[in-house]
Amino acid sequence: MLAFGEVINKTAATPSKPYLFNVRDDAERLDKENSEVFHSVVANLLYIMKRTRPNFEPTVAFLSTRVSCSTVDDWNKLKRLLQFVKGTIIDKRIIGANGLNDVLTRVDAAYAETKHKKLNTS
């Protein structure tokens, strides 16, 4: 991930750790340059998540709330997400249907399976 500014060498099994939503008041704020990088990478991941990778939506949603006040802790959470993306880059999204009214989407059985019912508009 060149835009991130750091080489992502490792992979992660999950997009975030259990403390994703914890925010420390005394955490060091990112400098202006890293704050802009953080914002840009999160915006790119938001687009990717909405189009193809709903399995990391909670992580991206949280990081999106941190773009205006990002800290070193948030940077590490973003790095963890990028490690997960690196490790799952070849995963396939499977979309199927049981009928005209039931659409199934599967990304990874461990993270997401949703069932959408078509609304009757008549």
Digit-coded pLDDT (tens) for 10-68: 999 999 999 999 999 999 999 999 999 999 999 999 988 888 888 889 999 999 999 99
| Coil, helix or strand at residue 60 | helix
Laid out side by side, the sheet with 94-97 consists of 94-97, 102-108, 112-117
What value, to the nearest 5°, has the Cα angle with vertex 9 and ends 65 and 29?
A: 35
Digit-coded pLDDT (tens) for 81-98: 999 999 988 877 766 667
At 52 the pLDDT is: 83
Confidence check: pLDDT of 119 > 70? no
Distances in Å between the alpha carbon of 25 and those of 28, 29, 105?
A: 9, 10, 39
At 90 the pLDDT is: 84
